[in-house]
Structure 1
Amino acid sequence: MNISFTPELEQFIQSQVASGKYASTEEVIVAGIKLLEESESIYKGRFEELRREIMVGVEASERGEVMDGETVFHQLEQKLQQRRQQTGE
């Protein structure tokens, strides 16, 4: 596989090898791909978590367990003020 890099990326890769952190260009590229893979995994996990949280909200709404937006924001503001008082902000 042939890969072309911008001069800036190539310089970065070479600087990583020169620093001794990586033994070769291939190691730098593999490390970058592993970081991308990890990032994607975290994203997918968070996406699924958000999907579950949304479903909890939808189900509560279907049961009639809802609050108007003004009440919700008022409660959130109160919680924020309490946290600030607790942390001394």
Structure 2
Amino acid sequence: MSINVNLTPLLEEMVRQKVKSGLYTSVSEVVREALRLMEEQDTLRKAKVDQLRQDINAGLESGTATIWNAEEVKRAVRKKRVNLQG
């Protein structure tokens, strides 16, 4: 299968440099590697979004939110720390 792609001058130069470096043997090889990396990133992005959705659902299912006072929490922790040390 043959596909023609128009690249910006910057991208075209990047591809040429990759081939010139010897790391890749052809323009096609550079493009295939770029597409493999894109697919890998898409897979990672999907996994992150799926995890975020699970975390959101877990939060929603965890019950009603309660109001708390930061100063009260600090006092309780300090008191517990003193009791553990004392």
Q: 1:18 to 1:59 in 2, by over 3 A?
A: same
Which structure: greater helix fraction? 1
The answer as to 2:27 corresponding to 1:22 is no
Structure 1 gap segments, 5+ residues each: 76-89
The one-letter code of the counterpart of 2:67 is D
1:46-65 equivalences in 2 (<5 Å): 46-61=48-63, 64=64
- Please list the CA deviations of residues 31-59 of structure 1 after superposition, one character each: whole Å capped at 9, or x if unmatched: 11111100000000010101011011001
1:4-83 equivalences in 2 (<5 Å): 4-61=6-63, 64=64, 66-68=65-67, 71=70
Which has the greater radius of gyration?
A: 2
**Fraction of identical pairs, as percent:** 30
Cα offset, 1:4, TM superposition = 0.6
Give the TM-score normalised by structure 1. Answer: 0.70
Cα offset, 1:67, TM superposition = 3.3
User: For residues 43 and 23 of structure 1, what CA distance do their matches in structure 2 show?
Assistant: 30
User: For residues 70 and 47 of structure 1, what CA distance do their matches in structure 2 show?
Assistant: 32
SS of residue matched to 2:14: helix
User: For residues 62 and 20 of structure 2, what CA distance do their matches in structure 1 show?
Assistant: 57
Give the TM-score normalised by structure 2. Answer: 0.73
- 4+ residue segments displaced more than 6 Å: none
